Amino acid sequence: MQELVLQSQQRNYPIFIGQGLIQQQHNIQSFCTGDKVLIVSNPQIASHYAESVKALFSDKTHHIYLIAEGENEKNLANYSAILDYLIKHQFRRNDCLIALGGGVIGDLGGFVAASYQRGMNLIQLPTSLLAQVDSSVGGKTAVNHPQGKNLIGAFYQPHAVLIDLNTLATLPQREYISGLAEIVKYAILGEAKILELLQTNTDKIIQRDPLILEQLIYLSCAKKADVVAQDETEKGARALLNLGHSFGHAIEKISQYAQYLHGEAVAIGLHMAINLSQLKGMLSEINAEQYHQLLSNLGLPQKTNCCKKPAEILDAMLLDKKNLNHKYRLILPTDSTCVIVEEPNNVLLSQAIEMQITLD
């Protein structure tokens, strides 16, 4: 087992990473100081892992709250219903909510924990690769609104994160590959060790080699923890973690969240960011090519047919809440790191998008 500590103003907390952690007795229990735990999950994930999680907290009274599967469930109705449940069962602030699932469960459960009695104990137990390398760490919690994703939420750091790689065994392959896009993002942000591991072990990674995966998850969480420690509430450096995401969110939105998984849309967005950087002369051809190659070698999509013209993506990007004052605000890779660029040249931006549009 490996352990990292994320240091933030709200609290410092451990991130435990290893194989079989939910089956082992473990000091995770110490993060639940009350006498009750509420496991929030969905039926499929709970069928695999809820019993182990209950055994892990064997000295507590267990409750389990299941929501249906899917992004649409990250909504205010479920948020409110879970709060009703906590009130009805007289949970206290030092009781613990355990978010057992992917990013949907983590974001929803996290927001409930953030607001119940002004903040209750929260353990993130991520079971998708995306959640293990990204959403469970760093304290962003949210639900969606009909007008847009993640419009209602809070920064609320968990009290601990328990990443058990063995839970990935039941994750569908498409979801798994989609999660790899966020790991590539850390590589392009300048994490040379991640880049090297991805490039030299591509086949093993696709086959979920646990030793390589453990290293990748550890390095990804370490990078995220480092950035969050510098900028907990995204006033500056944390925005770099949105590399590829402005494009990706626009692609998801245009395709009505039905065609692409989050990581797949981010992968296409990464290609667009790489194109733009190269067109602007900020990224060498050799580095651009190795990033494009890596994304496609991992089996991530390269092109989108979500629209015929770049203008549709540009319009959707302007609505992204990460844009300040209705200007495009993009993260672009350079040869050693990434930088924030505002209002980039619109002609080049259109060209960079068009290179990844296919009419097929």
Residues in touch with ligand NAD (CB under 6 A): 42, 44-45, 69, 71, 74, 101-105, 107, 127-128, 130-131, 134-135, 138, 140, 149-150, 167-168, 170-171, 175, 262
Q: Which of 118, 235, 285, 326 is catalytic?
A: 118
Q: Which of 74, 149, 223, 224 is catalytic?
A: 224
Residue 316 CB, nearest approach to ligand NAD (Å): 16
Nearer of residues 134 and 279 to ligand NAD, judged by Cβ: 134
- Per DSSP, the three-state class of 205 is helix
Q: Which of 36, 262, 271, 329 is catalytic?
A: 262
* Lookup: tokens for 271: 């290609």
**Is 253 part of the annotated catalytic residue set?**
no
Cβ atoms of 127 and 104 closer than 8 Å: no
Nearer of residues 134 and 320 to ligand NAD, judged by Cβ: 134
**Is 238 part of the annotated catalytic residue set?**
yes
Nearer of residues 20 and 289 to ligand NAD, judged by Cβ: 20
Nearer of residues 123 and 357 to ligand NAD, judged by Cβ: 123
Residue 294 CB, nearest approach to ligand NAD (Å): 20
Nearer of residues 101 and 310 to ligand NAD, judged by Cβ: 101
Strand 96-101 vs strand 61-66: parallel, antiparallel, or unpaired? unpaired
* Lookup: tokens for 333: 């890779």
Q: Which of 245, 253, 271, 329 is catalytic?
A: 245
**Is 242 part of the annotated catalytic residue set?**
yes
- Asked whether the CA dihedral 272, 278, 281, 283 is positive or negative, the reply is positive
* Lookup: tokens for 14: 């451990």
Residues 6+ apart with CB under 8 A from 141: 106, 107, 108, 109, 110, 111, 113, 114, 153, 154, 155, 156
**Is 118 part of the annotated catalytic residue set?**
yes
Residue 99 CB, nearest approach to ligand NAD (Å): 10
Residue 137 CB, nearest approach to ligand NAD (Å): 8
Residue 104 CB, nearest approach to ligand NAD (Å): 3
Instruction: Report the candidate in 216, 204, 227, 206 with the shortest Cα–Cα distance to residue 140.
Output: 227
Nearer of residues 137 and 352 to ligand NAD, judged by Cβ: 137
**Is 92 part of the annotated catalytic residue set?**
no
Nearer of residues 173 and 305 to ligand NAD, judged by Cβ: 173
Q: Which of 185, 223, 238, 271 is catalytic?
A: 238
Per DSSP, which regions of 9-56 are E strands? 12-18, 36-41
Strand 12-18 vs strand 160-164: parallel, antiparallel, or unpaired? parallel
Cβ atoms of 82 and 112 closer than 8 Å: yes
**Is 208 part of the annotated catalytic residue set?**
no
* Angstrom distances, CA of residue 334 to CA of 135, 193, 283: 25, 17, 5
Cβ atoms of 52 and 32 closer than 8 Å: no
Per DSSP, which regions of the chain are E strands? 2-7, 12-18, 36-41, 61-66, 96-101, 121-126, 140-145, 148-155, 160-164, 329-333, 338-342
Residue 149 CB, nearest approach to ligand NAD (Å): 6
Q: Which of 140, 149, 159, 271 is catalytic?
A: 140
Q: How many CB atoms lie within 10 A of CB 282?
A: 17
Q: Which of 36, 185, 223, 249 is catalytic?
A: 249
Residue 123 CB, nearest approach to ligand NAD (Å): 15
Which residues does the annotation mark as catalytic? 118, 140, 182, 224, 234, 238, 242, 245, 249, 262
